[in-house]
Structure 1
Amino acid sequence: MDHKKIYPKRSIAIAVLLLIVMLQTDVKAQLNPLAAQYFQNQYLFNPAMAGIDEGLNINLNVRKQWSSIPGAPATQAISADYLLGRAAFGVNVYADQSGLLKSTRAVATYAYHIPLGQNNQKLNFGVSAGILTQRVPLDQVSGDAGDLSIARYNERQSYLDGDFGTSYTSNNLSLQFALPNLRSVFNQYNYYTVDRSIYFTAASYKFDFGETINAISLEPKVVFRGVKGYTNILDVGANLMLANNQLSFQGIYHSTKSATFGFGLNKNTFSILAFYTTETAAINNYTNGNFELNLRLHLLNK
């Protein structure tokens, strides 16, 4: 047997597999972002929303595919933000694994909130900076973990990256604009694939009904997201809050022909939300969607 012919073929196969997995990971992250970003933790996608609520806010997110398929995508995120006067500081760590590729992104955020008048009107600005690392866990490789193609992939440096965002908020109206993945804006020759997110816009308005324990609010929201190399995505949904904001029901339709449904319990110091998102039309014959759980701690509120 000619080993010189076999090893190059195996290296090429592994390299092709890594490329396919990397593309699938970016598609998953950009087409189906964490559902908590729409209403509960808007800081996930827009640094200007860090510190939009007083006190220390800590959010933990876990998302997995509903069916247990080997190599299925899994996402974990943790963020914390704290308002200090008009300035706010935050940390956002996002880890995603799909197949053999594991991506970890960690950024620190500074935001500034300018009061404009009555009804809690504010003009908000925020910027994040940090690093992104992509690796193949050697302990999960079935085959030759010492293959040079894997070693070369893992030898790559971490990349500097960041985000910029701005927003106008009041007790009822919210308008947002964000530029995620700033490295791709200034340098088109980098690690990003064609499916990177290039901008994010959102508009929502909260309607309040009733008083005290019977208070009800309904917040419709429209989000328009740009994705490089893919049709721009429109998200339309609403957040219904009942029993003085203690119960929440969310529904969002995505123009990728998928939908998100959520239910949550909200208390003074914590909230728990669960989401189910159906798969996009392109792959809904192969998997039955994903499940997401979000825990939010609201501390040090004066």
Structure 2
Amino acid sequence: MQTMLRAVITVLLLIPGACAVAQQNIQFSQYVFNGLTVNPAYAGYKEDLYLNATYRHQWAGFPGAPRTGSVSLDGVTPGSDGRVGLGGQVLFDRLGPQEAVSFYGSYSYRIPLDAENTRRLCIGIGGGVSQYSIDGAALQYVDNNDEAIPTGKTSTWVPDARFGIYYYTSRFYAGVAVMDLFSLYTDASRYNWKGNNYSTIRKTQHMYLTAGTVFPLGEHLKLKPSFLMKEDFKGPTALDLNAFLLIGEKLWVGGSYRTNVNIWKKTALQRDLQEENAASAMVDFFATEQLRIGYSYDLNVNKMAGYQSGSHEISLGFLLRSKKYSVQSPRYF
């Protein structure tokens, strides 16, 4: 069974000249605790320097399963009165013989909307570069002389740009971002190997729409519902529905349900596609005022569930507080 599944993955990755060149962006379940993953305008939201690291092992037990990592740092610039946020990210993603390493920088201009500094409208841009690779040594094949398969690792560098808008108050947030803007202007010639087209590894443009709120249920209990809609304009629209409880300002406990929705008609989309549903359980604990430790477990709830044992994700967040620029009000998003 494992050999058959590995062969299926290989075929899907190496079909020359495939019509569908879309590839979903890196997916983290714990983006709800680090919005920089889905919106460059989030940079500087916590105002103090915030260091975050995440590692995800998706579809454990599945041959060639995705393994993803991210390290980010963001904060406001001194002397800008909290108006300018800067951020940086390094991301790594591996799926079978396919790899991507990305470097991004983000700039956010944060416009205050009240004297108390509880509401801001943030406009962000981001830029970076990604290296996409195919490792021929990781492939299993029948014909040793197949020229379509690289003898080692072949790679290409591709530039990228992002744009986002983020609005927040002490109890509500909403944001929209468009990622992979340069995918509109990079043709498939970058992904050729000896005349064979590997454009299936190329990412396509994505749009993220997010919103959420927090309201009290008691003296030491708060509820935080939120959603994220992800659209790549070619495949099914993905929707995450999230709900978390904050207990004593120390412990977040909750979960997420991910599914596909049909918002508008896509003429090139197959009509018989199976719905891709997944559920996540998450816990995030503030070990100290500065250190956050998170874990999530995802499980597919469709036919794929029988071939893998779920996805595991861990994250660490560390707030580097500054006496001069430290945030006085709590940050729930």
Q: Deviations over 1:7-48 (max 9, x none)?
A: xxxxxx99846426xx99975x54x810111x2101111001
Q: Structure 2 regions of 5+ residues with no counterpart?
A: 1-7, 189-198, 260-275, 324-333
In 2 relative to 1, CA 295–242 (structure 1 residues): closer, same or farther, beyond 3 Å? same
Bigger relative contact order (CA 8 A; separation at least 6): 2
Which of 321, 329, 332 in structure 2 is aligned with 1:300? Answer: 321
Match of 1:200 among 200, 208, 218: 208
Give TM-score scaled by structure 2 length: 0.74
Counterpart of 1:247? Answer: 251
Query: Do residues 40 (structure 1) and 44 (structure 2) align?
Result: no
The structural deviation recorded for 1:103 is 1.0
Q: Tell me, yes or no, if the aligned pair for 2:137 and 2:153 is still in contact at 8 Å.
A: no
Of 110, 113, 118, the match for 1:113? 110
RMSD, matched Cα: 3.1
Change (3 A) 1:140 1:166: same
**Structure 1 residues 297 and 236, CA gap change in structure 2 (3 angstroms):** same
Structure 1 residues 45-194: aligned runs within 5 Å: 45-65=38-58, 67-84=60-77, 85=80, 86-117=83-114, 118=116, 120-137=118-135, 140=138, 148-151=147-150, 154-184=153-183, 186-187=184-185, 189-190=187-188, 191=199
Percent of residue pairs bearing the same amino acid type: 25
- Residues 1:287 and 2:308 are matched in the alignment: yes
Q: How does 1:12-27 map to 2 (within 5 A)?
A: 16=11, 18-19=13-14
Structure 1: stretches of 5+ with no match in the other structure: 1-12
CA contact (8 A) 1:197 1:225 kept: no
User: What whole-Å deviation, never above 9, does each CA across 1:252-279 have from its counterpart, x for those lacking one?
Assistant: 1111321111011113111001001112
Give TM-score scaled by structure 1 length: 0.81
2:285 and 2:204 mapped to 1: Cα distance?
Answer: 33
Distance 1:34 1:178 in 2: 16
* Aligned residue number for residue 192 of structure 2: none
Counterparts in 2 of 1:194 and 1:130: CA distance versus 1, 3 Å: closer
Q: Which moved further from structure 2: 63-72 or 167-176?
A: 63-72
**Equivalent-residue separation in structure 2 for 1:242 and 1:196 (angstroms):** 39
Structure 1 residues 284 and 270: CA distance shift in structure 2, 3 A: same
Separation in 1 of the partners of 2:255 and 2:100? 29
Matched, 1:278 2:299: yes
Tell me how far 1:71 sits from its aligned partner: 1.9
**CA distance in structure 2 between the partners assigned to 1:17 and 1:232 by the alignment:** 21
CA contact (8 A) 1:195 1:228 kept: no
Tell me the SS of whatever aligns to 2:30. helix
The residue number in structure 1 matching 2:191 is none
Higher helix share: 1
1:136·1:150 contact (CA, 8 Å) conserved in 2?
no
